[in-house]
Amino acid sequence: MFTRILFSLLISCSFSLFAQQTRTVTELHDGWKFHKGEAEEAQAENFNDTKWEQVTVPHDWAIYGPFDKEIDKQTVAITQNGEKIPTEKTGRTGSLPFTGTGWYRTTFEIPEFEVGKKVILLFEGAMSKPQVYLNGEKVGEWAYGYAYFYFDISEKLRSGENTLAVKLHNEEFSSRWYPGAGLYRNVSLIVKNQESINQWGTFITTPIANEEVAKVNIKTDFSGEHLRLITRIYDKNKKQIAQLESAESFNNQFDQNIKIETPNLWSPETPYLYTAVSQLYSGDILKDEVTTKFGIRSISYSAENGFQLNGKTRKFKGVCLHHDLGPLGTAVNKSALRRQMNILKDLGCDAIRSAHNMPSFEQLELADEMGFLFLAESFDEWKKPKVKNGYNRFFDEYAEQDVVNLVRATRNHPSIVMWSAGNEVPDQYGSEGVKRAKWLQEIFHREDPTRPVTVGMDQVKATMESGFGAILDIPGLNYRVHLYKEAYEKFPQGFILGSETASTVSSRGVYKFPAEKASMKEYPDFQSSSYDLEYCSWSNLPEDDFILQDDKPWVIGEFVWTGFDYLGEPTPYDTSWPSRSSYFGMVDLAGIPKDRYYLYRSRWNTEEETLHILPHWNWEGREGKKTPVFVYTSYDSAELFVNGKSQGIQKKKDSTPQTRYRLMWNDVVYEPGTLKVIALDQAGNPVAQKEVKTAGKPYALKLDADRTTLKADGKDLSFITVSVVDKNGNPCPTATNQLNFKVTGAGSYRAACNGDATSLEIFHKPTMHLFSGKLVVLVQSDEEAGSINLKVSGNGLKNQSIDLQAK
């Protein structure tokens, strides 16, 4: 049995909350200059950058477009998709200008800087191949655009003004999806004493964690001699509940054990976080202090019980997420991440896989706070390439340090319950791949013996023969549902994880006739049907995975591809133009749920009812024609009505995978009016109902904000869903009106997105067309408090506005 128990550190805070300040963390957010292209001598401190663009970091230079068919055009056979003949791919990386060189420059001062202080320059992600210069001298370089890394710049720093320059370079054929470009995650300066806790130097586990007691083990790596450590633990109300002082260390590491009575255990349902304060003393002088949030919980994996959290068996209800945030690109934004995760919470989702990259610190903080289990992934490539200029170029030199940094930076998040060493790596074939898998897994175990390691395997037959799948802690299967049983019987672990499932494709609000199962189906409008019956050559429909989850105790859960649409990989239209983003998401690129969202919600959200009806009921020209109606619901049966005429009662039944999980009326004849479904309880009594009405002509706009009060920090966002209604207030599901946006007051227009994978409209321009009657506008707060107004207008429509407040 593989058992791992963790007591989790969240992240070091910038300033002390409980005592005097001994270290500072300064986020280098403002004051950056940016230039796209080569810039001779740009690293020099006296370089003239007055004509460069002023930007804030995090920043993605490529998201501002334009979309261009020629950008990173590839003639390639995607082997992991089963392709054998190369074809021209035009939207594979989003058709955005991420390739080339970019320079960033900023100046900063460290007030009262003292000689002898230790100063760390931390990068949470830089796309890619960063070369870092301070005051004209090279500090260092890195390779992997998704990696966290840092440099000690103590010897190169000086009093007064310092000039920091960063050169980044993205090559063609370096990614399979839109990777973004630039300093897309935070850059920070950490100033502390030489005698201090090391960067990512705290690791906390619980050998015992149950409702009665937790035994907390805290290992703290430090620099200095003759020091002592005091650790205090506080509950969520800031009440101190434990304290321990240690003066004895071994190899510059303190090893402490603290007992906590009747702990509140962390879980997705109860994401309780404590606070720990670690204080490092020399005599009576406080040298360093790190404040952290953490959760207490236990995890285990076994053939007998599958995956257990806090001693209870459960299955992962997970989604895979790429790192882009739709119209924001890859520039990390916590409010955008929080919105994503709120939508996933409503879905009933309890787990996230970072695909196929190292997650942002912000995403992990939110997973801890909001309650998500997390599968943290590292690589999409090892030594053997998928793309010419991918990570294969750096594997030998960087792989170990990239894993070390991933684990040390994030290993104390209670949300993380598993590591992934790779995704569909070509190294699955042959003995060399087995050796690499074992080598990587041992690095993960060395750095964190508390969690298991998986790899998302698509070449399942090969991994059975080579032993690749047998050596992993967790055998993860990407699709290949027909091989689950054979893999279960041949692999020794006694369980299987659906590390990537479904890859069903659909376009929000688009329905194709006849409604039938189809693989790699293409249409002239480059959309996929939202009847949720279309999938890819290597994948399947959701119900194939549902059956495995429900009927096989040895399947420990799934991570659906994907939770949200993302930029790039527009399968099945990756040879078509224009098509520049995915169709895989349960939620579209704008963050608007598709029909498929409610199919999963009907199974996953066990706290609230689901009753969702499709398609829309605006079908001029289909009068008298069969127009199938599907209902996704948490109820077992329902009766359907068209203009008051019953279409009969349907019950979920096991005759086909679809009828087991969907209610389907395939012979409904379209006539304009009202489509109504009434859900029935076990006794056949009505318990809930939903209606869809045929809408008239577009008349007015409707605005719904996810939040109306923002922080006045220059970063916070409100996402306003804009839809069109007729004179009676009915949504117009086929409206494509061009809209214009204007923001006034203490905020600014940030972007818009309509979820249309074929749209070439630029996200940051204040105009966009509706797609299937909707789009989303992003409004960003300023750094000063005040009122914000968004006005939306469109020809022939009654304009609408909404007021927000920045505080």
pLDDT digits (tens, 9 = 90+) for 455-513: 999 999 999 999 999 999 999 999 999 999 999 999 999 999 999 999 999 999 999 99
Q: What are phi and psi of 432, to 5 degrees?
A: -65, -40
Asked, for residue 573, whether it belongs to a domain, the answer is: yes
Asked, for residue 609, whether it belongs to a domain, the answer is: no
Mean pLDDT of 549-572: 98
Catalytic site residue from 377, 424, 543, 639: 424
Q: Which single residue is written with the structure tokens 């995704």?
A: 423
Strands (E), 127-195: 131-134, 137-141, 149-152, 161-170, 187-192
Model confidence pLDDT, tens digit, residues 579-607? 999 999 999 999 999 999 999 999 999 99
Neighbouring residues of 301: CB distance < 8 A, sequence distance ≥ 6: 1, 2, 3, 4, 307, 308, 452, 473, 474, 493, 495, 556
- Quote the Cα angle for 511-516-521, to 5°: 75
Asked, for residue 41, whether it belongs to a domain, the answer is: yes
112 pLDDT tier (thresholds 50, 70, 90): low
Q: How many domains does the chain have?
A: 5
Q: Residue 199: in which H helix or E strand, if any?
A: strand 196-209
Residue 643 burial class via C-beta count within 10 angstroms: exposed 0-12, middle 13-18, buried 19 and up: exposed
Model confidence pLDDT, tens digit, residues 381-433? 999 999 999 999 999 999 999 999 999 999 999 999 999 999 999 999 989 99
Model confidence pLDDT, tens digit, residues 147-179? 999 999 999 998 889 999 999 999 999 999 999
Residues 182 and 231 in one domain: no
Residues 8 and 31 in one domain: no
Asked, for residue 306, whether it belongs to a domain, the answer is: no
Neighbouring residues of 737: CB distance < 8 A, sequence distance ≥ 6: 698, 724, 769, 770, 794, 795, 796, 797
16 pLDDT tier (thresholds 50, 70, 90): very low
Please state, rounded to an integer, the average pLDDT across all residues of the chain: 95
How far apart CA 352 and CA 333 sit, in angstroms, is: 17
19 pLDDT tier (thresholds 50, 70, 90): very low
| pLDDT of 80 | 67
| pLDDT of 2 | 37
Helix, strand, or coil here: 219?
Answer: strand
Residues 409 and 549 in one domain: yes
Asked, for residue 631, whether it belongs to a domain, the answer is: yes
Any idea what the CATH number is for the domain that residue 440 is in?
A: 3.20.20.80
Helix, strand, or coil here: 51?
Answer: coil
Range with lowest mean pLDDT among 19-28, 207-216, 365-374, 696-705: 19-28
Does 608 qualify as catalytic in the annotation?
Answer: no
Q: Residue 598: in which H helix or E strand, if any?
A: helix 595-604
Does 500 qualify as catalytic in the annotation?
Answer: yes
| pLDDT of 656 | 96
Query: Do 752 and 777 meet the contact criterion of CB atoms below 8 Å apart?
Result: yes
- Look at residues 581, 616, 584, 602 and name the one whose alpha carbon lies nearest to residue 511: 616
- Look at residues 63, 67, 69, 72 and name the one whose alpha carbon lies nearest to residue 577: 69
Tokens of 741: 């946006």
Residues 6 and 29 in one domain: no
Residues 711 and 677 in one domain: no
Strand partners, 774: 723, 771
Residues 271 and 225 in one domain: yes
Inform me whether the pLDDT recorded for 442 exceeds 60: yes
Inform me whether the pLDDT recorded for 82 exceeds 90: no
| pLDDT of 14 | 31
Residues 676 and 781 in one domain: no
Neighbouring residues of 628: CB distance < 8 A, sequence distance ≥ 6: 515, 531, 664, 665, 666, 667, 668
C-alpha atoms less than 13 angstroms from C-alpha of 518 in its C-beta half-sphere: 18
Buried b / exposed e across 185-210, counting CB within 10 Å, b at 16+?
bbbbbbbbbebbbbbbbbbbbbebbb
Tokens of 17: 């909350």
Residues 645 and 501 in one domain: no
How far apart CA 786 and CA 779 sit, in angstroms, is: 14
Asked, for residue 307, whether it belongs to a domain, the answer is: no
Preceding peptide of 246 cis, ω within 30°: no
Any idea what the CATH number is for the domain that residue 655 is in?
A: 2.60.40.10
Query: Do 226 and 280 meet the contact criterion of CB atoms below 8 Å apart?
Result: no
- Quote the Cα angle for 740-744-749, to 5°: 55
Catalytic site residue from 171, 289, 447, 500: 500
Q: Which long-range contacts (CB under 8 A, 24 or more apart) does 11-18 make?
A: 11/292, 11/293, 11/361, 11/364, 11/365, 12/202, 12/290, 12/291, 12/292, 13/290, 13/291, 13/292, 16/277, 16/289, 16/291, 17/275, 17/277, 17/291, 18/232, 18/234, 18/277, 18/289, 18/291
Q: Which of 270, 299, 328 is the last residue of a domain?
A: 299
Any idea what the CATH number is for the domain that residue 175 is in?
A: 2.60.120.260
The domain containing residue 627 runs over which residues? 619-693
Mean pLDDT of 679-687: 95
- Positive or negative, the CA dihedral 489, 493, 495, 498 is negative
How far apart CA 268 and CA 368 sit, in angstroms, is: 8
How far apart CA 263 and CA 260 sit, in angstroms, is: 6
* pTM for the full predicted model: 0.96
Residues 477 and 624 in one domain: no
- From residue 676, alpha-carbon distances to 630, 679, 763 in Å are 12, 10, 37
Residues 660 and 595 in one domain: no
C-alpha atoms less than 13 angstroms from C-alpha of 516 in its C-beta half-sphere: 5
